[in-house]
Homo-oligomer: A and B are copies of this chain.
């Protein structure tokens, strides 16, 4: 257990989310695979908690943390299009959840803003490809790289959708993974979950 002493009067960052994999939580693990780099230990259930609590850690195999943050690459016109089309998380019909943690290479992080934007959008069309799958696929991006403790991934993306959109979601992943941006990814895991309310009790 790592304990990080930071002094008085510092509350958790309200944009911090913890993904705790273990034996409890509303999301039941249905399958997972490691695409690049080291795998994660197998889990049965996933909890998503705002902030980090002792409870989360107590029965967890692993805890991945990230913060939602300001956008890094989107322009105003892209942001407006995203906001007009995107759906929120926690829709009743969105019974599939997928967590995709990725890490990017040091080469990526040494690039300048203009170079990263060029690869991200001009070459890889990350935003414009993603837009094609809205509002079916809801998404929240979490940044891990600038947390105070060194995390095993740079980004955690959490997706929710109705299972009828599974094929479309898999197509989205293939398109992004075939893009030039993915040459800078050196660890990637894909974890699929069913929301508890739709799971048959055993």
Chain A residues at the B interface, C-beta cutoff of 8 Å: 1-16, 52-54, 57, 60, 62-63, 65, 67, 69-76, 78-79, 109-115, 117, 143, 145-151
Q: In the complex, what residue of chain B is closest to A73 when comparing beta carbons?
A: B113
Evaluate whether A5 and B52 lie within 8 angstroms (CB atoms) in the complex, with A113-B75, A114-B76 already known: yes
Interface of A is mostly: loop
Q: In the complex, what residue of chain B is closest to A150 when comparing beta carbons?
A: B13
Contacts of A9 in B (CB 8 A): 2
Report how far A148 CA is from B9 CA in the complex, Å: 14
Quick one: copies of this chain in the complex? 2
Report how far A75 CA is from B1 CA in the complex, Å: 41
Evaluate whether A3 and B1 lie within 8 angstroms (CB atoms) in the complex, with A14-B150, A70-B109, A148-B148 already known: no
Report how far A149 CA is from B75 CA in the complex, Å: 28
Q: What are 13 A-B pairs with beta-carbon distances under 8 A?
A: A4-B12, A5-B52, A5-B54, A7-B57, A11-B150, A12-B148, A12-B150, A14-B150, A74-B113, A75-B112, A78-B112, A146-B146, A148-B148
Q: In the complex, what residue of chain B is closest to A9 when comparing beta carbons?
A: B2
Evaluate whether A113 and B71 lie within 8 angstroms (CB atoms) in the complex, with A13-B148, A14-B150, A147-B148 already known: yes
Contact assessment for A71 and B12 in the assembled complex, using a CB-CB cutoff below 8 Å:
no
Q: How far is the CB of A129 from chain B (nearest CB, A)?
A: 18
Evaluate whether A76 and B115 lie within 8 angstroms (CB atoms) in the complex, with A7-B2, A57-B6 already known: yes
Contact assessment for A72 and B4 in the assembled complex, using a CB-CB cutoff below 8 Å:
no
Q: In the complex, what residue of chain B is closest to A146 when comparing beta carbons?
A: B146
Contact assessment for B60 and A7 in the assembled complex, using a CB-CB cutoff below 8 Å:
yes
Contacts of A3 in B (CB 8 A): 3-5
Contact assessment for B53 and A5 in the assembled complex, using a CB-CB cutoff below 8 Å:
yes
Q: How far is the CB of A184 from chain B (nearest CB, A)?
A: 12
Q: How far is the CB of A113 from chain B (nearest CB, A)?
A: 6
Report how far A119 CA is from B3 CA in the complex, Å: 40
Q: In the complex, what residue of chain B is closest to A61 when comparing beta carbons?
A: B7
Contact assessment for A149 and B13 in the assembled complex, using a CB-CB cutoff below 8 Å:
yes
